[in-house]
Chains A and B, each alone.
Chain A
Amino acid sequence: MRRGLPWLGLALGAGYAFLYLPIALLVLLSFNDSRMVTRWSGFSFRWYVALWHNEALIEAALLSLRIAATSATGAVVLGTLAGFALARFGAFRGQTLFSAMVTAPLVMPEVITGLSLLLLFVALAGLTGWPGERGVTTITLAHITFATAYVAVVVQSRLVDFDDSLEEAAMDLGARPWTVFRTITLPLIAPALAAGWLLAFTLSLDDLVIASFTSGPGATTLPMVVFSSLRLGLTPELFALATVIIAVVTVALVLALRLGRVASSLSRV
């Protein structure tokens, strides 16, 4: 089937170069002793040391990791329920509204999501006194809301993909619904749950706009720190930060791929 279409390979190579050259540049510059982007004055770890001693940044990173872990977990719970309802419930009353609300946050511009959630928190505080001060809690609630959409889509497509005759067979053999869910459905959708969690975690960790709207004076997340220092100009410390993130993501994805293969080979037995 493959005919000689060299320009196709060329286009693909050029596309990957476009995607990866800027990233390669960040990694390279993080080891540059010079502050200048255009001058290489020797290999150095000094920016990593500076990064390690940047307390504001480390503190913000820890806060972001905490928010990301909590909101990813919340989003997996809600997103799995939503994905289930969409994939398995057939038609129900209010379905159009429900599926619109599940998928709209995927593309909704962040400024709108951020502004609308902030106004909700302000209105709620005016009516009920909660939330008294915006911060970690409000950011987490906002992140759960937009990440739920991503988890729901991932879980839904996994549920649609696999054969539900397995579940029916178990039911026919007299298994109770909860047993069916625990022993058949859950293991089958586990890779989707893991992928959804990682996706939600990354989205939360990366979010600047929604967090800026819903945060209060006490809570500064990593993207907020990065953004305010970027406005002042480039610092090689941020190149070092980027390299650390790229390394972590690469390792995590390789592990996930390995685990994914293990999981799918096990399910085929």
Chain B
Amino acid sequence: MRGGAAIVQGRLVRLLVLALPYAWLLLFFLLPFLIVAKIALSEPAVGIPPYAPILRWSEERVLTLVLNLGNFAALAEDRFYLDAYLRSIRIAGVSALLCMLIGYPMAYAIARAPEHRRNLLVMLVVLPFWTSFLLRVMAWIGLLGDQGVINGLLLWLGLIGEPLRLLYTDAAVYLGIVYCYLPFMVLPLYATLVKLDPALIEAAADLGARPWRAFLTITLPLSLPGLAAGGMLVFIPAIGEFVIPELLGGPAAQLAGRVLWVEFFQNRDWPMASALAVALVLVLVVPIAALQRLSATRGLGLRAGR
């Protein structure tokens, strides 16, 4: 039916549709990473921008490549950076587990709610995400501070004699991360749980399985992809989190994102900040690749509307 001209036109349109976002992402997403990697290998210098080029003309007029591995050596040797990265992995991992513990019952309850209520219940999980992140973190400063609501309440009840130290602790960081990232756990979990065929559970019950056994042998294994996606959606961004440890954590809450921020904005050491970014990407390559595999086969459950 369609002529050759239409086919050529169709191919052209296809090419244009693809080329624009492709070129944009190459320029603004991939290329910047290569530049980060390059600057991580250069030496810091006084000037604007504050780093030395890695390709320069030596005195004998030979173009030489000067690579500085000192930043990476410092990363490996200096306990400060290593500790910060290990702490980030621990805090992000524990936060992801806490999100699972809180989010799983929520997602399960929503998936088993009557159908006409589900949209509203999901909406209620997402709604806080649409309001300001910074201002929600601020609410926890008001709750946890020495003169905050929780201490005020406990003092008034006479349960404590002097304010407890709640703010500027690791516990406050965990709380902040779980609070802000919980929707990212509930959504993909809900998406897998709602697709689960109830007949499977009924069959198990008919065959005499107790509810817990049916849950452990059927529901839980079938919801593992959602659990994994949710875990990654919490773990990956939490590792680079800056705002929460900065505002809720004490000086000891040095997480990867915060260390990078300080290196860049306060020490103005661009090459070191870049080396930290490269190390962070290396830590995250495996989880990000795993998440992409999951989302390619199942979708992330971050759907609009329904």
Contact = CB atoms under 8 A, between A and B. Distances in A.
B108 A8 contact: yes
A12 B20 contact: no
Contact of B304 (A78, A148, A196): A196
A11 interface: yes
A122 B256 CA distance: 23
A145 B28 contact: yes
Which of A15, A78, A85, A122 has the most B CB atoms < 10 Å from its CB? A15
B54 interface: no
A154 B280 contact: no
B266 interface: no
Interface residues of B, number: 99
A29 B145 CA distance: 15
- Size bracket, chain A contacts: 35 or more
B81 interface: no
13 contacts: A36-B147, A109-B284, A111-B280, A115-B264, A115-B273, A145-B25, A152-B21, A177-B10, A196-B304, A209-B261, A231-B247, A234-B142, A246-B131
- 3 interchain residue pairs of minimum CB distance: A109-B240, A38-B152, A195-B304
Interface of B: 1, 6, 9-10, 13-14, 17-18, 20-22, 24-33, 35-36, 39, 49, 102-103, 105-106, 108-110, 112, 114, 121, 123-125, 127-128, 130-136, 138-143, 145, 147-149, 151-152, 179, 182, 186, 198, 202, 211, 232-233, 236-237, 239-243, 247, 256-257, 260-261, 264-265, 270, 273-274, 277, 280-281, 284, 288, 291-292, 295-296, 299-300, 302-305
Given A18-B102, A226-B132, 20 more contacts: A12-B121, A37-B152, A78-B24, A81-B17, A89-B17, A98-B18, A100-B292, A108-B240, A112-B280, A115-B36, A115-B260, A153-B302, A157-B304, A191-B305, A192-B305, A206-B132, A208-B243, A209-B242, A234-B145, A245-B132
